[in-house]
Amino acid sequence: DGGITQSPKYLFRKEGQNVTLSCEQNLNHDAMYWYRQDPGQGLRLIYYSQIVNDFQKGDIAEGYSVSREKKESFPLTVTSAQKNPTAFYLCASGRGQDSYEQYFGPGTRLTVT
Amino acid sequence: GESVGLHLPTLSVQEGDNSIINCAYSNSASDYFIWYKQESGKGPQFIIDIRSNMDKRQGQRVTVLLNKTVKHLSLQIAATQPGDSAVYFCAENTGGFKTIFGAGTRLFVKA
């Protein structure tokens, strides 16, 4: 069963703690993306990776970090420096150049109190 | 489920009617456009796409229209069904890895 998975579905953390969100894909896609979604807004790009061991900042990268050590995995760490971390986080993958369709995971709802 | 887009523009249609969802895009250099559907608590799903060298593309029950003169995109859903209720996003791409998503429109289908 091919697809993209995110875990967990819901995550709760105390303020000041770092937290890592998981994203795995078995679609053999080169590109992977992390988006943040807030009520009343579209998806905002946090980080993206075109290829293993390479990643680029998106529009709202401050307070976040990523790694891309394997093609299948693109974990996102929400650090304590992120001022408003409570949000719905979506991971996506895509074939890359010349194919811009993105395949999304089910999302992780992070609540920080 | 997840509540996204609490203050989104909303379109309410009767089951069986046609729906038209509109989107104004921002970049005249964008050459690829996609419509996504997002159900409550889930990630967006691809519906249909169109390249800038086309002005219309049809899928199963869906049609996308592109007007580059006024930077406008629309999604038409024929014979709207309760399962079409969701938030719909348009997205634009200028040929690179970054895609820009619109804020979304919530579609309610009344039975």
What is the per-residue pLDDT across A56-66, written as a single tens digit (0 to 9) for each?
999 999 999 99
What is the per-residue pLDDT across B52-99, written as a single tens digit (0 to 9) for each?
999 999 999 999 999 999 999 999 999 999 999 999 999 998 877 788
Subunit contact B34:A48, Cβ cutoff 8 A: no
pLDDT for residue B46: 94
State whether residue B24 sits within 8 Å of chain A by CB.
no
Report the pLDDT averaged over residues A33-56. 92
Q: How confident is the model at residue B1 (pLDDT cuts 50, 70, 90)?
A: very low
**Residue B90 identity:** C
Contacts of B73 (CB under 8 A, 6+ apart): B22, B23, B24, B25, B33, B35, B50, B64, B65, B66, B67, B90
- Chain B interface disruption, residue of A5, A23, A35, A43, most B CBs within 10 A: A43
**pLDDT surpassing 70 at residue B7:** no
What is the per-residue pLDDT across A90-102, written as a single tens digit (0 to 9) for each?
999 998 766 788 9
The torsion angles phi and psi of B5, rounded to 5 degrees, stand at 70, 50
Report the pLDDT averaged over residues B13-20. 97
pLDDT for residue A52: 94
Alpha-carbon separation of residue A97 from A13, A68, B18 (angstroms): 37, 18, 35
Give chain A's mean pLDDT. Answer: 93
CA of B81 to nearest chain A CA: how many angstroms apart?
Answer: 23
- Coil, helix or strand for A85? coil
Which of A37, A42, A48 minimises the CB distance to B97? A48
